[in-house]
């Protein structure tokens, strides 16, 4: 496995709850993932990122960790995790785990001890307890709705997410030492890296000032915010990078960093900090040539200043699936096919969220009683939450659970139409989304590490060259567009849709060409 593999890797996100269920309890598990590794190898990806599988009360589907060095019995055992890593390596796939350092579960032994200990104790000092009386210490709000403080006695504790997710105090040396030890534990077991949850959230302004109006809005953190993107977080990542670099084999960190600007994002990607970070600018861009082009230029421009590759992502377990985001139905599906060819032709790394290779849409009509995402309950149902992008995958067959598990059970119900979208149905179908992803991932391996150059094109068209002989053209508009001169006479390698006529490309279609 050559060095710096992460600069152009395609990383497939496995949401363990929903990928494959080996024992029929309706919940995905590690043996399920393990049994499907050959599918992932055949898809043509380089690495797998596993969402949290640690012991957890699952108040936020695993982002409330009670023990960072074990596996939740729902998902298997530590031996299953070790076997999964071994099998993946045997197939040439790397494994990235999810590290949740901003908060623990309220059932983590540290927090249980903190509640039993008095104010001012060493046990409470690992978290952010503050005196308050009847009123919380300030007006900070939880990302899941409601206030970010919960009262326990004369004190309140901070939780930027659910009350079951108390925030750690990262100025505490014990916290830093513990997480370095956790990193070592998994690196020693063979993990190739970590995705870092809420990487921009660890440090808080010690004065804990009230939020101003501008800071309360959700979305990327504005500069000067008292609990997002503080300079102090960088020291943590410098020490983690030194630790990762002390291991053989190019171990990596990818940050989940929601910040206002790409220049702020780049600060996490200095050569002595994180290797890469998710690029939410691209994900958030609407389906418009101007917006996508600006997102691409800004990402490559700002990140190259610090020597970091851009990364591209269209969907994940927290956002509405992009078939639906891009308009849904036949149009959304068509745009999603074009978006896949755009993303996979860009220089840098790419993330594929499980099921996007099947063209799965968001499930928007889940019954209230099956929804698990805390945002649903905490917003009083106003926010449907993120369950709609977490519905278990259809693998095969014509009745639930469509091969997700051995029986009919699946923790969220799958739409009946998904029988048509299963891996089995799409395999071998030349027009399927799965075939498109497989072909694109195979061809992408030839692209190397070269940068990109834009070609002159119409307003609704994105056209760029990679290396000497490859051109990607995306018609983002709805009407046919004239192909750039460079590809006329070239060889069509792959197209996201049919009906390529003469010198025009149909609307919402992308095509890859080999050119002289
Ligand atoms: C980001 C994760 O992706 C999300 O699923 C989770 O709810 C929050 N962080 C809190 O850990």
Q: Print pLDDT tens along the chain (516 aa).
A: 346 999 999 999 999 999 999 999 999 999 999 999 999 999 999 999 999 999 999 999 999 999 999 999 999 999 999 999 999 999 999 999 999 999 999 999 999 999 999 999 999 999 999 999 899 999 999 999 899 999 999 999 999 999 999 999 999 999 999 999 999 999 999 999 999 999 999 999 999 999 987 777 667 777 789 999 999 999 999 999 999 999 998 999 999 999 988 999 999 999 999 999 998 899 999 999 999 999 999 999 999 999 999 999 999 999 999 999 999 999 999 999 999 999 999 999 999 999 999 999 999 999 999 999 999 998 899 999 999 999 999 999 999 999 999 999 999 999 999 999 999 999 999 999 999 999 999 999 999 888 999 999 999 999 999 988 999 999 999 999 999 999 988 999 999 998 666 789 999 999 999 998
Catalytic member of 46, 106, 167, 197: 197
List the one residue out of 323, 339, 297, 290 whose CA is nearest residue 472.
339
Residues 6+ apart with CB under 8 A from 243: 180, 183, 184, 187
- How far, in Å, from the CA of 447 to the mean position of ligand 1? 33
Alpha carbons 192 and 279: distance in angstroms, whole number: 21
288-293 long-range Cβ contacts below 8 angstroms, 24+ apart: 288/476, 289/459, 289/460, 289/461, 289/462, 289/474, 289/476, 289/477, 290/459, 292/342, 292/462, 292/476, 293/454, 293/462
**Is any atom of ligand 1 closer than 6 Å to the C-beta of 161?**
yes
C-alpha span between 318 and 375 (Å, rounded): 11
Q: What is the pLDDT of residue 1?
A: 39
Which among 63, 200, 389 is the best mutation to test ligand 1's pocket, defined by most ligand atoms within 8 Å of the CB? 63
What pLDDT does residue 216 have?
A: 74
Q: Is residue 256 among the annotated active site residues? A: yes
Pocket test for ligand 1, best of 197, 218, 256 (most atoms within 8 A of CB): 197
What is the C-alpha to C-alpha distance for residues 355 and 79, in angstroms, rounded to an integer? 27
Is residue 169 flagged as an active site residue? no
| pLDDT (0 to 100) of residue 3 | 61
Round to whole Å and give the CA distance between 283 and 279: 7
Q: Is 278 touching ligand 1 by the criterion CB < 6 Å?
A: no
């Amino acid at each position: 496995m050559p060095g710096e593999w992460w600069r152009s890797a395609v990383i497939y996100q496995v949401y363990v709850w929903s990928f494959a269920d080996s024992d029929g309890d309706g919940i995905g598990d590690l043996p399920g993932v393990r049994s499907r590794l050959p599918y992932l190898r055949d898809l043509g990806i380089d690495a797998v990122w596993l969402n949290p599988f640690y012991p957890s009360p699952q108040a936020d589907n695993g982002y409330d960790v009670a023990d960072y060095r074990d596996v939740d019995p729902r998902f298997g055992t530590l031996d299953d995790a070790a076997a999964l890593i071994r099998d993946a390596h045997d197939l040439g796939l790397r494994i990235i785990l999810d590290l949740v350092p901003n908060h623990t579960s309220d059932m983590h032994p540290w927090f249980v001890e903190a509640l039993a200990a008095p104010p001012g104790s060493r046990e409470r000092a690992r978290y952010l307890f503050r005196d308050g009386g009847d009123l919380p210490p300030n007006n900070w709000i939880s990302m899941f709705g409601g206030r970010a403080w919960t009262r326990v006695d004369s004190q309140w504790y901070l939780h930027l997410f659910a009350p079951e997710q108390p925030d750690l105090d990262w100025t505490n040396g014990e916290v830093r030492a513990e997480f370095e030890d956790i990193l070592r534990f998994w690196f020693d077991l063979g993990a190739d890296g970590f995705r870092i949850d809420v990487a921009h959230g660890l440090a808080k302004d010690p004065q804990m000032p009230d939020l101003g109006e501008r800071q309360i809005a959700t979305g990327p953190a504005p500069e000067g915010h008292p609990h997002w993107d503080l300079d102090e977080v960088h020291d943590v990542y410098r020490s983690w990078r030194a630790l990762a670099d002390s291991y053989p084999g190019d171990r990596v960190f990818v940050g989940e960093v929601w910040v206002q600007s790409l220049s702020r994002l780049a600060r996490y990607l200095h050569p002595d900090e994180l290797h890469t970070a998710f690029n939410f600018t691209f994900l958030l861009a609407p389906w418009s040539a101007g917006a996508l082009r600006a997102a691409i230029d800004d990402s490559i421009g700002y990140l190259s200043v610090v020597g970091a590759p851009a990364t591209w992502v269209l969907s994940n377990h927290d956002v509405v699936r992009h078939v639906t985001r891009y308009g849904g139905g036949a149009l959304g599906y068509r745009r999603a096919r074009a978006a896949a060819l755009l993303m996979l032709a860009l220089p840098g790394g790419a993330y594929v969220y499980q099921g996007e290779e099947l063209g799965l849409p968001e499930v928007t009509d889940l019954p209230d009683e099956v929804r698990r995402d805390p945002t649903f309950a905490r917003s009083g149902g106003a926010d449907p939450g993120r369950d709609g992008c977490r519905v278990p995958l259809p693998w095969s067959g014509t009745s639930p659970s469509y091969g997700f598990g051995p029986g009919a059970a699946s923790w969220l119900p799958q739409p009946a139409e998904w029988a048509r979208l299963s891996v089995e149905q799409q395999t071998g179908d030349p027009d399927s989304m799965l075939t498109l992803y497989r072909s694109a991932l195979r061809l992408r391996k030839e692209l190397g590490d070269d940068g990109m150059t834009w070609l002159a094109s119409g307003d609704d068209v994105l056209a760029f060259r990679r290396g000497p002989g490859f051109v990607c053209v995306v018609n983002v508009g709805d009407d046919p567009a004239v192909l750039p001169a460079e590809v006329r006479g070239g060889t069509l390698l792959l197209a996201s849709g049919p009906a390529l006529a003469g010198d025009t490309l149909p609307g919402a279609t992308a095509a890859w060409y080999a050119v002289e």
